[in-house]
Homo-oligomer: A and B are copies of this chain.
Amino acid sequence: MEAVIEKECSALGGLFQTVIGDMKSSYPIWEDFITKAGKLQSQLRATVVAAAAFLDAFQKVADLATNSRGGTRDIGSALTRMCMRHRGIETKLKQFSMTFLDCLINPLQEQMEEWKRGVATLDKDHAKEYKRARQEIKKKSSDTLKLQKKAKKGRSDFQPQLDSAMQDVNDKYILLEETEKQALRKALIEERQRFCCFVAMLRPVVDEEISMLGEVTHLQTISDDLKALTSDPHKLPPASEQVIMDLKGSDY
């Protein structure tokens, strides 16, 4: 009985140590994630700036088409809509990059310190409880041994005391096993909470990303409009022919 429990406790303790060890050795991976995320975030921020300047230039091209003497006003208007939609995407990209920093990168960096403290506490508490439980078992076992020696010498009046002491040792083992189970459960929950916490930080970023890509839907319509408007580049549209006609008798 004791041998079986001893084996189980050892397995639980071993897994506890593995989980704690896994968590402790994972920091370089999390730190690398934070570093790479930070670099991507700076790139995104720089991209937002470049996109804003690009869209200013794009709008000027659209204005060229809009303000021309004839024939490209519709194209100019569609290009302006295209530009405005992209300003919407630019705004979403900016929000996405801010959320990336504010909801994931910075909080995760702070969280790391808490994780380190949490695991150290788990490890220390476990060691303390394990040591105490082991000492109690040792003491009870040595009590039992003494009583067994006395019982062997034929002193049968020690038998009830011996039975009780053996039961004590057994109880302590069951207690140790429960302690080990609880410690393991806590370690597994701690490990799991890390990923739950990570996912909770990640989701608003993905939400921003989804809403940014959602802006792209509107682009299709404008792209189709532009295709139709420019389908015959070698022919003047009626509006332009009208401009030529209107010059007759005008005071241009």
Which A residues are closer than 8 A to B by beta carbons? 4, 7-8, 10-12, 14-15, 18-19, 22, 26, 29-30, 32-33, 35-37, 39-40, 42-44, 46-47, 50-51, 53-54, 56-58, 60-61, 64-65, 68-72, 75-76, 79, 82, 181, 184-185, 188-189, 191-193, 195-200, 202-203, 206-207, 209-210, 212-217, 219-220, 222-223, 226-227, 229-230, 233-237, 240, 243-244, 247-252
Measured CA separation A22–B72 after assembly (Å):
13
Whether the Cβ atoms of B8 and A199 lie closer than 8 Å is no
- Can you name 17 extra interface pairs (CB under 8 A) apart from A36-B57, A184-B244? A7-B251, A19-B68, A33-B60, A39-B50, A40-B50, A40-B53, A68-B192, A71-B192, A72-B195, A79-B199, A181-B244, A185-B236, A189-B233, A206-B219, A210-B220, A213-B213, A213-B217
Q: List 8 A-B pairs, Cβ < 8 Å.
A: A7-B249, A19-B69, A29-B64, A33-B54, A61-B198, A79-B195, A82-B206, A192-B240
Whether the Cβ atoms of A68 and B36 lie closer than 8 Å is no
Q: Which residue of B lies closest to A205 (CB)?
A: B223
Whether the Cβ atoms of B229 and A199 lie closer than 8 Å is yes
Task: Work out how many copies of this chain go into the complex.
Answer: 2
Whether the Cβ atoms of B188 and A240 lie closer than 8 Å is yes
Contacts of A210 in B (CB 8 A): 216, 219-220, 223
Contacts of A206 in B (CB 8 A): 82, 219, 222-223
Whether the Cβ atoms of B40 and A233 lie closer than 8 Å is no
Measured CA separation A46–B249 after assembly (Å):
58
Measured CA separation A180–B207 after assembly (Å):
59
Contacts of A209 in B (CB 8 A): 216, 219
Whether the Cβ atoms of B70 and A193 lie closer than 8 Å is no
Could you say which of A18, A51, A210 has the most chain B C-beta atoms within 10 Å of its C-beta? A210
Given A197-B233, A199-B226, A227-B199, are A54 and B71 also a contact pair (CB < 8 Å)?
A: no
Q: Which residue of B lies closest to A44 (CB)?
A: B47
Whether the Cβ atoms of B40 and A43 lie closer than 8 Å is no
Q: Which residue of B lies closest to A233 (CB)?
A: B196
Shortest beta-carbon distance from A134 to chain B in Å: 19
Measured CA separation A181–B236 after assembly (Å):
13
Shortest beta-carbon distance from A174 to chain B in Å: 13
Could you say which of A47, A192, A240 has the most chain B C-beta atoms within 10 Å of its C-beta? A192
Contacts of A233 in B (CB 8 A): 189, 192-193, 196-197
